Amino acid sequence: MGLLVTFSIFNLLLLLLILLVCVNGGRIPSTVDGPFKPITIPLDKSFRGNAVDLPESDPRVQRLVQGFQPEQISVSLSSTYHSVWISWITGEYEIGEDIKALDGDRVDSIVLYGVYGKPLTKKARGYSLVYNQLYPFQGLQNYSSGIIHHVRLTGLKPNTLYQYQCGDVEEGISTNLYYFKTMPKSGPKSYPSRIAVVGDLGLTYNTTSTIEHLTSNHPDLILLVGDVSYANLYLTNGTGTDCYSCSFPDTPIHETYQPRWDFWGRYMQPLISNVPIMVIEGNHDIEPQAENQTFVAYSSRFAFPSEECGSSSTLFYSFNAGGVHFIMLGAYAPYDRTSDQYKWLEDDLASVDREVTPWLVASWHAPWYSTYTAHYREAECMRVSMEDILYKYGVDLVFNGHVHAYERSNRVYNYSLDPCGPVHITIGDGGNREKMAIAHTDEPGNCPKPSETIDPFMGGSCAFNFTSGPAAGKFCWDEQPEYSAYRESSFGHGILEVKNETHALWTWHRNRDMYKVSGDVIYIVREPEKCPSGQELRSRK
């Protein structure tokens, strides 16, 4: 009882601290009030918990359908409001040294749909595929998926609730009714009510807490900023670990246990069969296999609006959600200025009409601005290549994952406080089984060597010492950098509520708190008169 009282008192004190920090004169602070002095919330070790994966025996990940009945149903957006994608899987996967793939044409990909409360008068057909995860080494288990279906629904009305059934409806193999709501029509006064943002989910008991909290906030859209199932923390025989390279240093190829993707899809179905989810790839989704193939599960299991937005890849794309234009960038695809991604990004940014979509939000996996030792400045080459163009076109907000903690920046550009720079938010605290990021590079003895920050999949080394300011001549700061406004190591998720063309409310929610409590809250304020989009970069001293 005494321990519970101690926990309760701690929570009350922490809540009071947060209120004192976040509330300015009885109101929610905004970025116009900043830049803010850096805040670090001390680590609460008692509430960290153990990030333990859900076992295969958990009823929430079990296959509950028979034959070719659909399962793992999800909704994702097309590039505009009048179109969405419905995805699902039929049939059972196979795993073993010798496998026989299912016939992708065995069942049709059909969705019946209509406005809620009315007959399902519309029918759409899509396409199906089966993917393999193959290893050219004796003794490893190969995998062949069930039949994955993707169907695009078109001609939809904005901000409207629809109902649907999916499957081979002409053969009587279909689902019960599911529902989704379309995005509002793009315009300066038209926005989804709540956009949930989460990263580095995996499928642990911490993940389930995150999803329960997230669901309680009733989002209209979910943004998953990379690292989905963490199937690559397992050998092909199903043996898992918190650190693959530590436990299995001698494997000839980085193995994965692909059924973890199926478990993840089954667990998430109650939420994402009704709420659209948009995903961008992370490093745990690379999953190399035979013939140097990568990202096969990621690219096969989700539908992406790549073709609709002119992208040549599932690793980078864009879409609109009301008056917000989202740019999903690939940290693990070529991003230099001669790459297809960079050329696509230039065209996409140039085509954005800020009178129609005032808000410009970018997302990718590995953060440019993080003060944790984990993955510190790992994406520096990407930042050097792309930061200028994002600044030029006035990106308002950036979401990243990768670092398993929470951090929000002041407005920043090129490591300097800048009232026209975007706010960068790292939210890789979804709950996966890897360790939470705790150590900060500005703490004594924690600064890594530049040679230790290179990621083989991101390409090259662009590490350098700072040339001016409090960190001049150093690779790390000696104190929490001025660009870092708030940081805390705790599992959670975020909610973005765009109120109008200039104000958006951002709240971060810890898993350990009550559902409606906010750990961090701030208004992100656009100032288009001060920072017009498409502006030429100003000269820097």
Report the range of poorest mean pLDDT among 32-41, 49-58, 504-513, 528-537. Answer: 528-537
CATH of the domain at 438: 3.60.21.10
- Spatial CB neighbours of 172, under 8 Å, sequence gap ≥ 6: none
Provide the 3-class DSSP secondary structure of residue 262.
helix
Query: Each residue of 194-246: pLDDT tens digit?
Result: 999 999 999 999 999 999 999 999 999 999 999 999 999 999 999 999 999 99
CA distances for 233 relative to 83, 228, 267, 292, 490, angstroms? 35, 12, 18, 19, 21
pLDDT the model gives residue 1 = 41
Rounded to an integer, the average pLDDT of 501-513 is 95
Q: Which residues are known catalytic residues?
A: 375
pLDDT the model gives residue 46 = 72
Tokens of 308: 């609709």
pLDDT confidence tier of residue 514, bands split at 50, 70 and 90: confident
Q: Does residue 383 sit within a domain?
A: yes
Q: Does residue 491 sit within a domain?
A: yes
Provide the 3-class DSSP secondary structure of residue 217.
coil
Work out whether the CA dihedral 347, 350, 355, 360 comes out positive or negative. positive
Rounded to an integer, the average pLDDT of 31-46 is 92
What pTM did the predictor assign?
A: 0.93
Query: Each residue of 399-437: pLDDT tens digit?
Result: 999 999 999 999 999 999 999 999 999 999 999 999 899
pLDDT over threshold 90, residue 7: no
pLDDT over threshold 70, residue 145: yes
pLDDT over threshold 60, residue 441: yes
Q: Does residue 18 sit within a domain?
A: no
Mean pLDDT of the residues in the chain: 92
pLDDT confidence tier of residue 360, bands split at 50, 70 and 90: very high
pLDDT the model gives residue 21 = 43
Query: Each residue of 266-279: pLDDT tens digit?
Result: 999 999 999 999 99
Question: Distance between CA 395 and CA 409 in Å, rounded?
Answer: 14
- The per-residue DSSP string of 400-462 comes to E-SSSSEEEEPSEETTEE-TTSPEEEEE--S--SSPPP--BTTSTT-PPPGGGS--TTT-S--
Work out whether the CA dihedral 281, 234, 430, 13 comes out positive or negative. negative
Tokens of 193: 């009510």
Q: Does residue 431 sit within a domain?
A: yes
pLDDT the model gives residue 48 = 58
pLDDT the model gives residue 534 = 62
Q: How many domains does the chain have?
A: 1
Q: Does residue 381 sit within a domain?
A: yes
Q: Does residue 422 sit within a domain?
A: yes
Rounded to an integer, the average pLDDT of 65-72 is 96
pLDDT confidence tier of residue 24, bands split at 50, 70 and 90: very low
Structural domain boundaries, residue 450 = 35-63+70-530
Q: Does residue 2 sit within a domain?
A: no
pLDDT over threshold 50, residue 471: yes
CA distances for 215 relative to 197, 218, 273, 405, angstroms? 12, 5, 13, 20
pLDDT the model gives residue 456 = 85
Q: Does residue 22 sit within a domain?
A: no
